[in-house]
Structure 1
Amino acid sequence: MNPAESFVRANGIDHHVLEWNPGGERTFVLAHGFLDIAWSWKWVAERLADAGARVVAFDWRGHGESSWIGDGGYYHFADYVLDLDELLPALGIERAHLVGHSMGGTAVALYAGTRPDVPITVTLVEGLGPPSHGVDILPDRYGSFLRSVRAVRSAKRQVLPDLDAAVTRLAAQNPGLPDEVGRFVAERATRPGPEGHGYVWRFDPLHRTTSPTAFQAEAFHAFLGHIASPTLYVCGDQGFRLPDERQRLDKLKKLAFVEFAGTGHMIHWFRPAELSAELLRFAVQT
């Protein structure tokens, strides 16, 4: 099943949107993680659509085929929250099952905590935020921010010699990745390089810089505590697990928990059938 592709303007950004089965009885909105793309959800989205759901996946700002922020701008979680708050009504979505992976899960959690009035359910796929930092690191972090942004502005994009190099990079970061998955994602996460030579990743290089903001668990706890909707947390026993995971989960009022054995961070690539089944089960129960 091939999705419909479109660009939807929200919060000044042209968001690349994929939609499967637009007439489905319930709506899932799938939010990808850091440096990932909407197409990464293909194997989950197709299964949800086959089960009768409408499925929407989109590229966050500065990712995939969505707009970059442009000169003088930067990427903050507050921007993602506002993007999502404007993107949902732009897509005619009033009720939805929001699913976020990794960074996308963090953004979804912040949105749900900010808008507890919106009728949604939330699934966080290893999306409980990055490790927490104290405020003492902020002066050094601001210095790193200045240096890294200037370095990106002055540097040439790294050019991969061919598509195979992109596939190899993904496979090295995700041992055991099926070749068909890696190749499919690599084809859509890259574009031709300068003058048509080689390939470059589609994401804005600014994402590779040091954010000036130190992530603070105490602040994130407040957002988690404001989430009124049922929330499913999905993780892999070999994935990205935080030392304070339990404390963060305890802030969620209506929590369901699923752990996949023998699975790492990219659950939607390695276990799409099982993940889709859990999403459908949770949606039916709520």
Structure 2
Amino acid sequence: MATPEPFVTERPGGVRIVADRLGDARERAVVFLHGGGQTRRSWAKAAAAMARRGWQAVTVDFRGHGESDWSAEGDYRVVTFAEDVRDVLAQLPPRPVLVGASLGGFTSMLLAGELARGIADAVVLVDIVPNMNPSGAERIHNFMVDRMVDGFASLEEVADMIAEYNPHRPRPTDLNGLRANLRRRGDRWYWHWDPQFIDGTAARPPIEVTDPERMNTAVAAILADGVPMLLVRGQVSDLVSEDRAEEFLARFPQVEFVDVQGAGHMVAGDRNDLFASAVVDFLNRHARADGSLGSAVCADPKS
């Protein structure tokens, strides 16, 4: 597998946003945005699959996550994540494809549908809809909060906790891959994100995720601009239940849909083969002769 090339975007307030690219920097980009509590490393296999197909694959660490800086002001609003990504995109060829999982999906909605309309050529939402299932969201929150302060004595403890949370996924035999999501302090391991992001102490938390109408309005704007959109759901997801997906697709029938068998909320990690194929097929369907992507503009999407 090729080695990603890191690059850094400086944001106001001195916050450094770290990203990786695979493939030719002159090629059009597919930009992968991770979920809350994850890092850009979660997209490693998906990014490699896209780079092999001739795209420039870019993975981004959100502020407060991975190797990007934490916000001294506690600014973890979704719109701020979107502003960070907008500045990252300024270093890439115009009109990339946005692929956003969970928090990354919300960020894609606000970036392409509110903050900078026309910035993306296509949007892929990975196991996220504006009106997500509250019980699934609570389960994810509880997982992130548990052991956030106390940490872990070993990587084996981390693997055990992940296996309990994701019983459908085989427990990893090589635990070194977990290091990308953890920090070592003293003799213990801690999750690789700013606790303010999830523990309720941030001055500006990501409150937009609790405003489905704002997100639906952003989705309607993206579709009105003729931007193709795909929803990829994990078939056993508890965040985007079947009825929540059906509700979203009934509201926005222009959105294409793929249900990935055997995958939960972490779709790309659970079944990267099916996930990558679904994204590539979607992009191929919407390819134009000039290399751009597009779909029929819906003049009056439901909002």
TM-score by length of structure 2 reads 0.78
Q: Equivalent residue for 1:142?
A: none
2:44 aligned residue: 42
Q: CA deviation at 1:99?
A: 0.2
What count of residue pairs does the alignment treat as equivalent? 262
Q: State the TM-score, normalizing by the size of structure 1.
A: 0.82
After TM superposition, which residue ranges in structure 1, 4 or more long, deviate above 6 angstroms?
Answer: none
Offset, 1:105 = 0.7
Gaps of 5+ in 2: 135-144, 287-303
In structure 2, what is the equivalent of residue 92 of structure 1?
A: 92
Q: 1:246 to 1:11 in 2, by over 3 A?
A: farther
Paired with 1:49 and 1:178, the residues of 2 have a C-alpha distance of 26
Q: Paired residue for 1:219, among 214, 229, 250?
A: 214
* Distance in 2 between residues matched to 1:218 and 1:231, nearest whole Å: 18
Cα distance between partner residues in 2 of 1:55 and 1:16: 14
Matched-pair contact (CA < 8 Å) for 1:124–1:234: yes
Deviation of 1:25 after TM superposition, in Å, equals 3.8
CA contact (8 A) 1:40 1:185 kept: no
Q: Which residue of 1 aligns with 2:187?
A: 197
Deviation of 1:277 (Å): 1.1
Spell out, residue by residue over 1:183-206, the C-alpha distance to the aligned partner (whole angstroms, 9 max, x if none). Answer: 35421011111xx32211110001
Equivalent positions of 1:52-131 (< 5 A) are 52-70=54-72, 72-89=73-90, 91-114=91-114, 115-129=116-130, 131=132
The answer on whether the counterparts of 1:81 and 1:111 sit within 8 Å (CA) in structure 2 is yes
Q: Is the 8 A contact 2:234 2:262 kept in 1?
A: yes
* Paired AA for residue 118 in structure 1: I
Distance 1:42 1:169 in 2: 22
Identify the residue that residue 206 of structure 1 maps to in structure 2: 196
SS in 2 for 1:29: strand
- In structure 2, the residue corresponding to 1:17 is in which secondary structure? strand
Shift of 1:182: 7.6
In 1, the alpha carbon distance for the partners of 2:11 and 2:268 equals 26
* Residue type of the alignment partner of 1:237: Q
Task: Confirm or deny: 8 A CA contact 2:78 2:207 kept in the other structure.
Answer: no
Q: CA distance change for structure 1 residues 81 and 95 in 2, over 3 Å: closer, same or farther?
A: same
The answer (yes or no) to whether the contact 2:130–2:216 under 8 Å persists in 1 is no
Q: 3-state DSSP class of the match of 1:6?
A: strand
Report the counterpart of residue 238 of structure 1 in structure 2.
236
- Give how far 1:271 is off: 0.8
| Counterpart secondary structure, 1:169 | helix
**Range 209-218 or range 1-10, more displaced:** 209-218
Q: Which string of whole-angstrom CA distances, capped at 9 and with x for unpartnered residues, describes residues 119-169 of structure 1?
A: 420000112145489xxxxxxxxxxxxxxxxxx9xxx93231122222222
RMSD: 2.6
Instruction: Report the CA distance shift for 1:59/1:268 in structure 2 as closer, same or farther (over 3 A).
Output: same
Cα distance in structure 1, aligned partners of 2:173 and 2:59? 17
